[in-house]
Amino acid sequence: MISQEELSLARECLDIARACGASACRVTLTKSTENLIATLDGQIDKVTRCADRSMSIAIFADGRFGSFSTNKLESEALRDFIGKATDTVRMLSADEFRRLPDALRYCTAARSGLEMDLYDEAWNSLGAEDRTRMAMEACVTGKVPHAGLDPASPGYRLISEEGEFSDSEYDTYVLDSQGLECRHCETSFDYGVEVTIEDADGNKYSDYWWTAAPRLKDFDAAACGATAVMRAASQIGSTPAPGGRYNMVVGAECASRLVTPLLNALNANSIQQGNSFLVGSLGKQLFSDGLTILDEPWRKGEAGAKLFDSEGVATKEAPIIENGIVKRYFVNTYMAAKTGMQATSEDAIRPRLCACGGSAKDKEALMALCGSGILVSDFNGGNCNMTTGDFSYGICGQLFENGRIVRPVHEMLVTGNFLQLWKNLVAAGSDFRTCATKLVPSLAFSDVDFSG
Amino acid sequence: MDIFGLSRSQMRSIVAEGLKGGDWCDLYFEQTVYHDLLLRDGAVASGGFHLDYGCGVRVLSGEKTGYAYAESTDFQALMDAARAARAIAGSSGRFGVPAVSGEAPQYYPVLSPWEDASLERLAAWLVELEQAIRSREPRTLKVIAMMSWSQSDVLMYNSLDELTQDSRPLGSVSVTAIFGQQGRTEQRSTSRSLRCGAEMLGDGLLQELAAETVAGLDDSFAARRPKGGKMSVVMAAGASGILLHEAMGHAFEADFNRKGQSIFSDKMGRRVCRRGINIIDDATIPGCRGSIRYDDEGVPGQKTYMVTDGVLSSYLHDRISARFYGVEPTGNGRRESFRYNPIPRMRTTYMESGSDGSLQDLIASVRKGVYVDKFANGEVRIGEGDFTFYVNRGYLIENGRLTMPVKDINIIGNGPQALADIVGVAGDLKIDNGTWTCGKEQSVAVSCGIPSVLINNLTVGGE
């Protein structure tokens, strides 16, 4: 945790900046400690201890602005650093729109950093033996039942398992020359595993799984290894399906890939530059009636919850897209001044895509709803043209008919345009993973182009 | 290097502390100062610099790794880090790491140090770049251009008493422009990144970037999605080297093979593509973004033939994988910063020129396919070998001629199959000097290149 001495140092930075001639300044002090235990095939492979501190300083001087950071936090070094930073700012072009936020918008509720109930004191009592035990308990090498290499059964051999348990503590303190002081502390316990299996013909298949929780009592990695193995095994014998138009069901484990471009396109930075397919979309119904995405940053104890953004502005629980209508752009102080738009927050903090289209809760129910199509269990590369919304992604998954999986598919591409895709949203489940910071459930779309 | 303030005897003591828990210990000192300037809405009104300083301590015990770092080079802090890193102690395997000797040549001399260049001059160059784009293309709506330059000073010391140091400059310019035509918009991006000083910022580069940014804009507005499916793909010289990076390079990184994960892990010494094809990973190209005098384990940078005359001839090794395979390290042990332990990573990956004529010859040989020449990102699934790369720009090929422009399509294939399906290699090798960054666990600067090639049977995304 950030010490009193470090808090004082951050405050001192404001004084130094002012003494150097800055008219305004924001300082963000971050401190984190992380321990990682990596395993390879059921044995400890790597132990890492990370301890980081960094001071980020935004300086406003003579109508100009610059952004700086350093991890040399001795008082004398900081004094020299801020002096040079202020000199640099003075050499940039003036920008009348650069300013600190309206102080009335500041978060005043994050004083101790513990308000969101995301800090687990149990982290402090975790020892090396506990970490090793948790990393080893999560391993499946030697434990996974499999059918060996009997060609008569869907046999496979686990040939590699790489796991990583990590636990971390993050502490962020933001203050500025208008009196802002905000703090956010959280702990996190994480496990991720990647496995490679080999089938009877010597073909390899790899897959992964992960989990995370802010509190140790909620952390359970027991199923991760087996889930990763089963996901890899589900790909045995995969081949491309014929190209064409299919219904598409996207599993909750990877569905946020389709939401991220929407959120990015709502950022005022992109909109002001014309580099967004959602320019001029505010208040318009562009998507399926069923599409509702809410920002829910105030949920105590939930991963991703936070009371303030990087400017110290209070976050807000509000719809981003509601019943297919765009309700909110993400507008920071600079973009608000520059464009005349109302300032909101810099980004979505903890977006949740709401269930729609009936009672289907998960991908199995969505497959039943769609009847036939392709279930996407992972994306492989691809990108989106932000000015047009055109996208193309590699995928692997399962071909399904009559609501049931028929066979695995891979080496396929899904191609389209995000405006059209989200018009074709058929239903969304409610099975989002609570360990993620974007809460996106399994999704079903109609009329999607696949190439294979 | 004086900036780290430790004597060799102090380094020796820290390493000795680490060796109480392992059979190898090394130190990686780093100071990186990164500067940036951003042009937006016609003015360079944003910029800054960022300082990162510290030292990583690695202890190896057999193949197992203990790692810790300190954001200082205080002796006691590093002794504590050595004690934390040796927590890996207790494993069984013990085998020696070979010494690596030799002074590496300088691959990135700096003629005009960045610190001597005035911010006003650098900012003016960005403004001129925007003007050059606008003067070439009246449909320009917006231009965002970023210039960045960094200097990484690194010093490496290890339990063989080897002391190595390097100073790595990296200058980059990237530009994104938005163009408008009849209510429609198109975005174009281009970049340059070189290990050199501010001498890269000549008028020649400025005009090159401006020309590349606007080139083929009419075709971009006219481009459509092709009908998707399997087809022949002609990949233009240069940036198409992303194919080698994604489809082959990662699968040749020895850590994936040591762990049995790579689809190429049982193919050493076997033919993976037709005779005459040589695929290289090279640290020694002067000024290239992917070049390094020494890797981040102190091993001299090298030119490594991964595929020689069509046969898989070498993986890319760090010291761990090299001793596992009983070969010399290839100088591929790289890391993002002192916060990370080194792992096998590519540098500049390319294919040597072939003898199948010119790009036009390759296109003329295709009845139905696509030609692609501008790319964004790529990805690979190591086990299956399935790779993808995203195409920003290309054309349909019909009966040996370029026809309809296409854009925003992903292409997917399988590494070993794609290698085997390379049926034409032109004689026009080109290294691409864009801002390529590889994101395998950590971000490192790389580059890529290739002559024009013809590949049968890749799957092209479409409608």
pLDDT bin (cut points 50, 70, 90) of residue B463 is confident
Q: What's the pLDDT tens digit per position in B160-171?
A: 999 999 999 999
> With a CB-CB cutoff of 8 Å, which residues 155-214 of chain B face chain A?
176, 178, 180, 185-187
The β-bridge partners of A67 are: A58
- The yes-or-no verdict on residue B332 having pLDDT over 80 is yes
What's chain B's length in residues?
Answer: 463
Q: By the CB < 8 Å criterion, does A94 face chain B? A: yes
My answer on whether B357 and B450 are in the same domain is: yes
CA atoms of B291 and B104, how far apart (whole Å): 12
Q: By the CB < 8 Å criterion, does B367 face chain A? A: no
CB neighbour list of residue B148: distance below 8 Å, 6 or more residues apart: B34, B35, B36, B37, B171, B172
List Cα–Cα distances, A42 to A394, B50, B407, B413, in angstroms. 31, 40, 45, 32
Residue with tokens 């289907």: A360
Q: By the CB < 8 Å criterion, does A65 face chain B? A: yes
pLDDT bin (cut points 50, 70, 90) of residue B98 is low
Contact B50 A44 (CB under 8 A): no
My answer on whether B410 and B288 are in the same domain is: yes
CA atoms of A314 and B432, how far apart (whole Å): 45
Nearest to B461 among A128, A232, A451 (CB): A451
Contact B71 A53 (CB under 8 A): yes
User: How close is the nearest chain A Cα to the Cα of B139, in Å?
Assistant: 13
Poorest-confidence range of A139-148, B248-257, B264-273?
A139-148
CA atoms of B301 and B168, how far apart (whole Å): 13
The β-bridge partners of B48 are: B36
Kindly state the tokens that stand for A73: 């936090």
User: How close is the nearest chain B Cα to the Cα of A108, in Å?
Assistant: 29
My answer on whether A173 and A66 are in the same domain is: no
- The verdict on residue A269 lying in a domain is yes
pLDDT at B345: 96
My answer on whether A44 and A25 are in the same domain is: yes
pLDDT at B90: 57
My answer on whether A354 and A289 are in the same domain is: yes
CA atoms of B383 and A197, how far apart (whole Å): 8
My answer on whether A349 and A427 are in the same domain is: yes
Would you put residue B294 in left (φ > 0), alpha (ψ -120 to 50) or beta?
Answer: beta
3-state percent breakdown (helix, strand, coil) of chain A, nearest 5: 20, 40, 40
Poorest-confidence range of A89-98, A302-311, B212-221, B379-388?
B379-388
My answer on whether B265 and B408 are in the same domain is: yes
Tell me the longest C-alpha to C-alpha distance in chain A. Answer: 79
My answer on whether A201 and A261 are in the same domain is: no
Q: With contacts defined as CB-CB under 8 Å, which chain B residues touch A49? A: 67-68, 81, 84-85, 87
My answer on whether A401 and A253 are in the same domain is: yes
Q: Is the pTM of this model over 0.90?
A: yes
Closest CA to A113 of A315, A307, A348: A307
Contact A206 B260 (CB under 8 A): no
> With a CB-CB cutoff of 8 Å, which residues 18-37 of chain A face chain B?
none
Q: With contacts defined as CB-CB under 8 Å, which chain A residues touch B410? A: 381-383, 392-394, 413, 415
User: How close is the nearest chain A Cα to the Cα of B447, in Å?
Assistant: 19
pLDDT bin (cut points 50, 70, 90) of residue B92 is very low
Nearest to A381 among B84, B263, B388 (CB): B388
pLDDT at B378: 86
User: How close is the nearest chain A Cα to the Cα of B415, in Å?
Assistant: 11
- The verdict on residue B435 lying in a domain is yes
CA atoms of A371 and A364, how far apart (whole Å): 11
- The verdict on residue B105 lying in a domain is no
CA atoms of A48 and B77, how far apart (whole Å): 16
Number of folded domains in chain B?
2
* ipTM for the whole complex: 0.92
Kindly state the tokens that stand for B435: 């801002």
**Residue range B117-122: mean pLDDT, rounded:** 95
User: How close is the nearest chain A Cα to the Cα of B424, in Å?
Assistant: 23
My answer on whether B184 and B277 are in the same domain is: no
Contact A392 B379 (CB under 8 A): no
Kindly state the tokens that stand for A416: 């389209």
Q: With contacts defined as CB-CB under 8 Å, which chain B residues touch A160? A: 259-261
My answer on whether B140 and B176 are in the same domain is: yes
What residue of A is the nearest CA neighbor of B261? A196
Share the mean pLDDT of chain A. 95
Range(s) of the domain holding residue A447: 244-451
Element spanning B303, H or E: strand B303-308
- The yes-or-no verdict on residue A149 having pLDDT over 50 is no
My answer on whether A95 and A148 are in the same domain is: no
My answer on whether A256 and A354 are in the same domain is: yes
Contact B180 A40 (CB under 8 A): no
Q: What's the pLDDT tens digit per position in B294-311?
A: 999 999 999 999 999 999
Q: By the CB < 8 Å criterion, does A273 face chain B? A: yes
Q: Which of A210, A233, A256 is the last residue of a domain?
A: A233
Residue with tokens 């101790």: A112
Q: What's the pLDDT tens digit per position in B425-461?
A: 999 999 999 999 999 889 999 999 999 999 999 999 8
pLDDT at B245: 92
Range(s) of the domain holding residue B215: 114-149+172-222
Contact B389 A381 (CB under 8 A): yes
Classify residue A79 by burial, with Cβ atoms within 10 Å: 0-12, 13-18, 19+. Answer: middle
- The verdict on residue A238 lying in a domain is no
My answer on whether A303 and A432 are in the same domain is: yes
User: How close is the nearest chain A Cα to the Cα of B463, in Å?
Assistant: 6
Q: Which of B182, B201, B222 is the last residue of a domain?
A: B222
**Cβ neighbours around A317 below 10 Å, total:** 12
pLDDT bin (cut points 50, 70, 90) of residue A155 is confident
What's chain A's length in residues?
Answer: 452
Per DSSP, the three-state class of B27 is strand
- The verdict on residue A210 lying in a domain is yes
My answer on whether B318 and B451 are in the same domain is: yes
pLDDT at B87: 81
CA atoms of B335 and B337, how far apart (whole Å): 6
Contact B50 A380 (CB under 8 A): no
Contact B459 A412 (CB under 8 A): yes
Q: What's the pLDDT tens digit per position in A160-188?
A: 999 999 999 999 999 999 999 999 999 99
CATH number of the CATH domain containing A186 = 3.30.2290.10
Q: What's the pLDDT tens digit per position in A13-59?
A: 999 999 999 999 999 999 999 999 999 999 999 999 999 999 999 99
Q: What's the pLDDT tens digit per position in A58-98?
A: 999 999 999 999 999 999 999 999 999 999 999 999 999 99
CB neighbour list of residue B343: distance below 8 Å, 6 or more residues apart: B253, B255, B318, B333, B334, B335, B440, B441, B442
A356-391 as b/e: b if 16+ CB within 10 A: bbeebbebbbbbebbeebbbbbbbbbbbbbbbbbbb
Q: By the CB < 8 Å criterion, does A396 face chain B? A: yes
- The verdict on residue B35 lying in a domain is no
Q: By the CB < 8 Å criterion, does B233 face chain A? A: no
- The verdict on residue A116 lying in a domain is no
3-state percent breakdown (helix, strand, coil) of chain B, nearest 5: 25, 40, 35
My answer on whether A27 and A159 are in the same domain is: no
pLDDT at A353: 98
Contact B382 A92 (CB under 8 A): no
pLDDT at A150: 46
My answer on whether A404 and A279 are in the same domain is: yes
Per DSSP, the three-state class of A435 is coil
**Residue range B219-238: mean pLDDT, rounded:** 94
User: How close is the nearest chain A Cα to the Cα of B58, in Å?
Assistant: 9
Q: Which of B38, B44, B51 to substitute to test the interface with A, most A CBs within 10 Å?
A: B51
A87-97 as b/e: b if 16+ CB within 10 A: ebbbbbbebee
Q: With contacts defined as CB-CB under 8 Å, which chain A residues touch B228? A: 243, 413, 415, 449-451
CATH number of the CATH domain containing B179 = 3.30.160
CA atoms of B371 and B395, how far apart (whole Å): 5
- The verdict on residue A439 lying in a domain is yes
User: How close is the nearest chain B Cα to the Cα of A195, in Å?
Assistant: 8
Number of folded domains in chain A?
3
Closest CA to A191 of A218, A173, A172, A170: A218
CA atoms of B285 and A34, how far apart (whole Å): 38
Nearest to B412 among A65, A88, A394 (CB): A394
What residue of B is the nearest CA neighbor of A53? B71
My answer on whether B367 and B432 are in the same domain is: yes
My answer on whether A288 and A362 are in the same domain is: yes
